[in-house]
Amino acid sequence: GAVVSQHPSWVICKSGTSVKIECRSLDFQATTMFWYRQFPKQSLMLMATSNEGSKATYEQGVEKDKFLINHASLTLSTLTVTSAHPEDSSFYICSGKREYNEQYFGPGTRLTVT
């Protein structure tokens, strides 16, 4: 299957700082990438849909000014958590859509805000 990487896999930051998470499709071009967050023992919640070269579409309740998404190329999307707070601590997962029906997930990034 196709490979999606995320960097970093784990990050700890102080409250008030910003953190950038990268999502890369390594062996395919992803015209659409999705960003999810997952709290412990819960399901994945879609945060936003990112299309290359255009603004991301955010789900209801997700602050677009807090969670900045950039999809500058067909292989890279970034999620920046600005002015992070402890309640932003979560597991963030990206996925890339390659073609019909195929969506491949990255390994996830565990964010801890102290």
Partner 1 sequence: AQKITQTQPGMFVQEKEAVTLDCTYDTSDPSYGLFWYKQPSSGEMIFLIYQGSYDQQNATEGRYSLNFQKARKSANLVISASQLGDSAMYFCAMRESPNTGNQFYFGTGTSLTVIP
Positions that interact with partner 1 (CB under 8 A): 1, 31-32, 34, 42-46, 49, 51, 59, 91, 93, 95, 97, 100-101, 103-108, 110
Which contiguous run of DSSP H or E holds residue 20? Answer: strand 19-25
- In the complex, the smallest distance separating the C-beta of residue 69 from partner 1, rounded to whole angstroms, is 14
Q: Give me the sign of the Cα torsion angle 95, 32, 19, 61.
A: negative
Q: Which CB sits closer to partner 1, 49 or 82? A: 49
- The least CB distance from residue 15 to partner 1, in Å, is 23
